[in-house]
Every structure is written in C-alpha cells, then in structure tokens.
C-alpha cells in the first residue's frame, strides 16, 4: 500500500476535504535551494527513503521510530520542512557523493539506469 493511501485509511472518516489535504501533504518532498546556488529535489515518501535521508543529512532529531510511520511524518510536516530547510543553506558538496544523480530521461530512463547500475534488470526490479 502506498503511504498516502495509508494516511487516508488511518483517518477512518468521510471528510473528503481533510482526506485530500492529507493525501496531498508530503513531508520530505519538494525542491530546496542550496548555498552553492543549486537546487535539490527530494521525494523521500516511503520509509526506506525517509530513513536514508535522515541518516545522510545527520538529522538525529528525525531519526525516531515514531516517524517510520508515514502518517506521523504527515502530522509533523511543518517541523520536518523547517529542519530540512535549515539543513540546505550549506553547500551540498560531499554530503551525498555516494548517491546516484538521476536526471529525467523519459523513455530511456530504465536503460540508462541499468547501465549505471551495471546489471540487467526488468522494470519490476529495484535499481541499485
């Protein structure tokens, strides 16, 4: 189940406006400016990506078990945005050197990611 649907199901009510707001609220998602005049796009919606983001950015205050639940992250979206915003005014050089840069490549994305990963994979496999 996708995290945002889980938030909707956890509401357990029929408030369409609240559900729409909750489903569209995305902590750790957006474009952040960096001090080296570049921009970084984040989309750490699922818990494994969330954990990696928190670890990579050394945000110990967000590395708590309660925030492994997407609904808990949604409830704290503003605080998370504030912490992430405070982290990005510094140059990103060296912070994410082991991460793969993945440009939007359209129909050729899968083939190029396979080449970068050095493996042959199907569209249902994870890219390393």
What are the chain's domains?
3-97 (3.30.1540), 102-128 (no CATH)
Average pLDDT over residues 27-47: 77
Q: What's the DSSP call for residue 30?
A: E
Strand-pair partners of 43: 29
Strand-pair partners of 31: 41
Q: Which two tokens stand for residue 67?
A: 């925030």
Cα–Cα nearest to 29, from 73, 59, 71, 66: 73
Give the total residue count for the chain: 128
The pTM of the whole model exceeds 0.75: no
Alpha-carbon Rg for the chain, nearest whole angstrom, is 17
pLDDT for the residue numbered 121: 42
pLDDT in tens, 50-106: 998 888 888 889 999 999 998 888 888 888 888 877 776 655 555 555 555 555 556
Proportion of the chain above pLDDT 70, given as a percent: 49
Distance of CA 31 to the CA centre of its chain: 11
């Amino acid at each position: 189940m996708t995290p945002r649907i889980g938030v909707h199901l956890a509401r357990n009510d029929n408030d369409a406006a609240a559900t729409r707001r909750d489903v569209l609220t995305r902590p750790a998602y957006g474009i952040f400016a960096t001090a080296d005049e570049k921009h970084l796009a984040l989309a750490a919606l699922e818990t494994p990506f969330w954990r990696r983001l928190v670890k990579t950015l050394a945000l110990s205050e967000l590395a708590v078990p309660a925030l492994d639940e997407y609904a808990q992250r949604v409830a704290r979206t503003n605080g998370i945005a504030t912490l992430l915003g405070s982290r990005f005014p510094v140059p990103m050089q060296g912070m994410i050197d082991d991460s793969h840069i993945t440009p939007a490549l359209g129909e050729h994305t899968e083939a190029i990611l396979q080449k970068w990963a050095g493996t042959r994979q199907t569209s249902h496999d994870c890219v390393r």
